Each structure stands twice: as structure tokens, then as C-alpha cells.
Chain A
Amino acid sequence: MGARETILNAVAMNKPDLTELPDIDLSLTIQYTDLIQKFIEMVEAAGGKAYYENSRQQLLNDLAEVKAEGKFMINLLDNRDTEGWKNLNAGELESLDTCYLRAGLGVAENGAMWISERQMSNRLLPFICQHLVIVLNQADIVNNMHQAYQQIDAAEEGFGVFIAGPSKTADIEQNLVIGAHGARSLRVYVI
């Protein structure tokens, strides 16, 4: 008998009597009066920088500034040249400075944003870039994670991720250090 059967038989024999799944009453979960304000507060608490007032213009300025610096940047905001980035490997993306992409949804309770595989084009992009810039429609902000999973289809594509803030670690004496292995900074434009 293989390990699979051994395990499944042992589990079937040892499991307790069937219990019910709970009814999850979402009306009991937190709702915020000002979703956008709460979302921005939580993005910043997670170490990101959020732009809301005049954010379209600020985003254009951001793009222009990074372009002027002449560093390697990838802009996935206008859905044009996404194919070209799809098959680049880690070595080819190592020097990526800034990556611009769209999130499908933002969560007010924790500042997290859902980015599907289609939105990131290449699974490495949100992680390997030094600076990540995410653009989110203000209408796509929900209260909490329960609502988030109602809105997205997390299993629809091959991969997807909730990102809240830049990468971080507190593994040395609980001192917060921003910029562990993923992006060193996160800018969020709520438009």
C-alpha cells in the first residue's frame, strides 16, 4: 500500500464525527464610513505611500521623473507592451528599477491590493523591482477580506497575490527594516 492510501485510510479511521461549517454572517464584519481614507491610512501604516488628491497628475509626474532618471522601468498601465515582458527571466529583470501596474481591488482594513497574473504579466515583476507603483480605481476598494474574496476569483488564473506595503523584515531584534527581498518602496495612486 502506498503512502497515499496509508494516509487516507488512517485519516478516515481516526477522524471525528462530522461537524458543520459555520454560517459566516458578513453583516457582522467591519464596515468603514470612509473606505478611501481608511485604505490610504492602512497603505501608509504598511510602509507604502498613497496619493489620492490630484492623483492622476501626480502619477504622470511620477512616470516622467522615473523616465528622466533613465533607469530600467516597466510600465504595464496602458496594456500595450505587456507581451514583451512575459518571458523575461530573473537575470534579465535583475536590474529592474521601477514597475508600474494596476491592481484589481484594494482592501480598506489592511491596505492590501489584489494583483492577478494577467495584471502583472510576469510573476516576478511585483517582487523583483526595486520600487513598485500600483494604480487602483477608488471604486474598487472594499471593506474587508471577506468582501475581497467575493469580488475576485482567486483561482481563475495561475497565480495572484495580495500585496500590502513594501517588503519588510523585523528579524534583527524586532527592528523594522523596509526592503527585505522584494520591492524597497511602494507608491499607490488611487484614481
Chain B
Amino acid sequence: MRAKQHAEAAQEFIRDEARTDWHDETLWFVRAKRDKAVNTLPEWEKLRDWASQIKNHTLSNLDYYLKSFEEKAISNGIVVHWASDAEDHNRIIHKIIADNKIDKIVKSKSMLTEECHLNEYLQNKGIQILDTDLGEYIVQLRKESPSHIVLPAIHLKRQDVSETFHEHLNTEKGNNDPQYLAGSARHHLRERFIESDLAITGVNFAIAESGSFVVCTNEGNADMGVHSAGIHIACMGIEKLIPKTEHLGVFLRLLARSATGQPITTYSSHFNKPRPGQQMHVVIVDNGRSRQLGRADFRNSLKCIRCAACFNTCPVYRRSGGHSYHSTVAGPIGSILNPNLDMEANSDLPFASTLCGSCSNVCPVKIDIHEQLWKWRQVIVANGYVDKGKKAGMQGMAWVLSNPKVYRMAGKIGRWIMRIFPFILNNSLNVWYKQREMPRAPEKSFRDWFKENK
């Protein structure tokens, strides 16, 4: 089944105007916190340059760094697995679970496992995974997907959470106090951490020189799971590598400030070796990333550190919600990553933007997001993944705009129609008339005015 296109889904999202305004303002508030944190550091722009250069360098020598990481990790006692695609990734994890006869599994936030649809895959085999990040826990109980990569439940109000918890955790009906609700989840999840046999985490940064990896959380859920369980599986895309430990200094300074406006997350956990008796696995996943690496115009999207600053600043994301992007990674960065995964299914996403460029300005690793959105539009049109009406309209417009005489005539007719027969344009067939008035047509064009007044 084809997912709803961004514009259709967004139309549903904005039906509740008060909620849309709340969503917009809340994300803008996060963006404002980011600005405040960023402005405390005079070297911020320098940090962005360094981060961008480190990531560019890493991508330009990625095969070497992957091999170096693997070699060091193995010598540290970590089992390294390679997965070409989502199916491989899921199969590898299932095998570890099956070989060890595990049935109690906790998972902290990992966008990669969402991208691979790990939960559904295991569910079909009768294995239940519990998401432990509070936001992910909430959306999992509601059988939804995260709508934001850092704030998974940002589309929900406290009343929604209260109802969900009342139904599943038997909390007091109508108690909407966030402290009470989070406390109830803490109480419930603690038991699950303690009895878990296997913990799955994502990876924020993997260090090539040491074979270590770093996981950042505010809640402490990754650590609670991993240090309780006998088996730890960490899943990472090939682009998570950085060459040296000292480079963490640059990235940890950028990540949380860009994401939430915190100077650092509460926990930045550095995993080097399994503890005695523990199994530690790392699954290195490609799933289209090496293909993106070969696209010169789009490869630097692989620098992304998943801070979601581009989501929070995006006027389209803020007023259309994450689910409208029908993908694991929504927002501007998702709109340049997803067409690589499936160009046809995601052909609408690069158009879900005003190309205002705010995303590129806040990006901590200097990805030229808005330029890539524009370039993807061209690739998508060239591949024929654009609807016929839009294509014909664009071709017509190109013809009018490249013929000055036709252009002037069209302008004249347009102004005349708008003045004399406004109903021809002011009706539901005209998408430009939706939710807004058409402008008042001037008597004459600027060109004519200029000729008279120069």
C-alpha cells in the first residue's frame, strides 16, 4: 500500500489548529534553547567547521576506518557483524536471540533499528522487544512510530499519554501530571530492566582507533539495560565512525546543544570491552549508505549525527508533524536521506520544503540540506517520479517565462481576469486559493509602471 503523500498527511495533521500551533511553538521553543546554548560558545562556527571536516575526511577513507574499527573491537572482545541491508541486520539479531534462547529484551533508542523495522520482524517470530526511552515507550504502547528522532512523542499531548498509561499501566484516570506519568513508567520499566537478558542500543559515535563506541542518553535507559543484561547488541550505520577518541571532544560539544540546547546529555557512555561474562555485539549496517556515498551531490548527508536541529527549525516540519513524512527519519534531513532508500516512494519528500535554508544554517556538521533538497527535486523529475499535472504545469510555466512576449500577454490576461471575473480563480479548483485569499491584481505590471516613471 502506498503511504499517504506528505501534503495529504499534513492536511490531516493541521485540521486541529490549536494542536498544530502547540506543535509549532513547542519545537520552536527547542530551537530557541539551541540558540541560547550555541551563543555561549564563541568558537561555535569553528566547531561546526571541524566537525564537518572530520566527517568529510572519515567518509573519504571510510573503508580503512571500518576495518580499523573492526580489528580493534574484535581485539577488545566485541563480536562484529556486517549487514548489507535491513533484512541482514534483522536476521543477525534474531540469530543471536535464538542461539541464546532469550525472551526478555529491552531496547534503547536506535533510529537504525526503526529504519530496519526490527520490532515488527521479531514480533512476527513471536519475540517482543520493549522500547525503554520514555517517548518511544509511549509510542510503542500506542502502536505508533516515533514522529521525531530525538523527541519521539512530540506529536502527543499529556492527556494522550495519560490515557495510554491508564489503559496499559493502570495509572489514575485523568491524572495528566508529567512527573506522575514519567514516575509510573520508571517504576514499571525498572522491573523490566532488571529481568532483561538482552539489551539492544544504537551507537552515536564509533571510534576507529580504539574499536570503542559511545551512546548518549538523558534518561539512563541504555545503561540500565546494557549493564543489567548478559548480552549487549549495538547497531550502527557505517557512517557513525570517527577516526579518533579526541574527536569526541568536537562532536559531544555539538550534539546535545544542537538537539535540545543542553551543553551535554546526562550520560555519554563509552563502551570498550564487555564486562566479564557478558557478550557484546556490534552490527555494522550499510542499507543504502554506500550507495549514497557514491552520489556526489548527496554523499555529505552521511555526515549527519541525528541531532534533529533541522527538524526543530523547519517551518514545514513544525506545521506538518513527523508522521507526514511516512519515514523513520522525518524532517529536512530525512527528506534528503529517504529518496536514496526508495526514490519513488519518497519522491514527495524533497518537495516538503520552502527551501528557506534554515536547516543548513543550524546543522552542526554543515550539511547543505536545502541545496540537496533542490537537487533531489531535479533527480526525481528526471526519473519521472513527479505527477503529470505538476510536470505539465512546470513545462507550461517554463515556456511562458522564457518568452517575454507571451509572459507579458499572460500577465495582462491574468490581471484582467482577476479584476473582472475573480470567481474564475477564487474557487476550490485553485490550490493557491485554499486557506488564503488571492492577492488584488494591480492595474499594470511593474514593467509598464517603470517605463512610465523612469
Q: How far is the CA of A4 from the CA of B285 in the complex (A)?
A: 10
Contact present for B134 and A7 (CB under 8 Å): no
Closest residue on chain B to residue A156 by CB atoms: B272
Is A104 part of the binding interface, using a Cβ–Cβ cutoff of 8 Å?
no
Contacts A15-B59, A175-B178, A180-B219 known; A10 to B263 CB distance under 8 Å? Answer: no
Contact in complex: B227, A169 (CB < 8 Å): no
Asked whether, in the complex, the Cβ of A154 is within 8 Å of the Cβ of B275, the reply is: no
Roughly how many angstroms separate A144 CA and B43 CA in the complex, as a whole number?
A: 12
Write out the residue numbers on chain A whose beta carbons fall within 8 Å of the beta carbon of B211: 155
B271: interface (CB < 8 Å): yes
Which residue of chain A has the shortest Cβ distance to B136 in the bound complex? A171
- Are A162 and B220 touching (Cβ within 8 A)? no
Closest to B245 in A: A154
Q: How far is the CA of A20 from the CA of B55 in the complex (A)?
A: 10
A interface list, Cβ under 8 A from B: 2-4, 6-8, 10-22, 24, 28-30, 42, 45-46, 89-91, 94, 107, 109-112, 123-124, 126-128, 144-146, 148-150, 154-155, 157-175, 177, 179-183
A145 contacts B67, C-beta separation under 8 Å: no
Interface string of B200-215 (1 = CB under 8 A from A): 0000000100111000
Chain B 266-288 interface mask (CB, 8 Å, partner A; 1/0): 11111111110000000010100
A161 touches B26 (CB 8 A): no
On whether the beta carbons of B178 and A173 are closer than 8 Å, the reply is yes
Q: Which of B26, B193, B272, B294 contacts A159 (CB 8 A)?
A: B272
> Which partner residue on chain B sits nearest A9 by CB separation?
B63
CB proximity of A30 to chain B, nearest CB, Å:
6
Contact between chains at B264 and A159 (CB < 8 Å):
no
In angstroms, Cα B268 to Cα A154, docked, is 11
B189 and A181 contact, CB distance less than 8 A: yes
The reply to whether A177 and B178 contact each other, CB–CB distance below 8 Å, is yes
Q: Does B243 contact A (CB under 8 A)?
A: yes
A173 to B50, CA, bound (A): 34
Q: How far in angstroms is the closest Cβ of chain A from B287?
A: 10
Beta-carbon contact of A21 and B57 below 8 Å: yes
Across the interface, B273 reaches (CB within 8 A) one of A3, A7, A158, namely: A158
Give which listed residue, B268, B269, B291, contacts A10 with CB less than 8 A.
Answer: B291
Contact of A172 among B178, B195, B266 (CB under 8 A): B178
CA distance A20 to B49 in the complex (A): 13
Main secondary structure of the interface of B (DSSP, over half): helix
**Contact of B62 with A15 in the complex, beta carbons under 8 Å:** yes
- The interface size of chain B toward A, counting residues with CB under 8 Å, comes to 92
Within 8 A of A (CB), among B220-272: 220-221, 223-224, 227-228, 238, 243, 245-246, 248-250, 252-253, 260, 262-272
Question: Can you list 9 contacts pairing A with B, beta carbon distance less than 8 Å?
Answer: A11-B290, A16-B60, A145-B252, A164-B262, A171-B152, A171-B182, A172-B153, A173-B158, A175-B178
Binding site for A on B (CB under 8 A): 26, 29-30, 41-43, 46, 49-50, 53-54, 56-57, 59-63, 66-67, 82-84, 88, 132-135, 138, 151-154, 156-158, 161, 178-179, 181-183, 186, 189-190, 193-195, 207, 210-212, 218-221, 223-224, 227-228, 238, 243, 245-246, 248-250, 252-253, 260, 262-275, 284, 286, 290-291, 293-294, 296, 299
In the complex the two chains form, is B253's CB within 8 Å of A145's CB? yes
Query: When chains A and B are docked, how far (Å) is the Cα of A12 from the Cα of B293?
Result: 10
A55 CB to nearest chain B CB (Å): 23
In the bound complex, do residue A128 and residue B224 qualify as a contact, i.e. CB atoms below 8 Å apart? Answer: yes
Determine if A166 and B133 form an interchain contact, defined as CB atoms under 8 angstroms apart. Answer: no
* Residues B158 and A172 in contact, CB atoms below 8 Å apart: yes
**A171 lies within 8 A of B134 (CB):** yes
For A174, the chain B residues whose CB sits under 8 A away are 26, 29-30, 151, 154
Indicate whether A179 sits within 8 Å of B270 (C-beta atoms), given known contacts A30-B43, A124-B228.
no
When A and B form their complex, which 8 residue pairs have the shortest distance between CB atoms, in order from nearest?
Answer: A182-B220, A14-B294, A180-B219, A110-B263, A171-B135, A10-B290, A90-B228, A158-B273
Known: A127-B220, A164-B264. A169 touches B293 (CB 8 A): no
Contact assessment for A10 and B286 in the assembled complex, using a CB-CB cutoff below 8 Å = yes
Q: Whole-angstrom distance from the CB of B83 to the nearest CB of chain A? A: 6
A14 to B260, CA, bound (A): 34
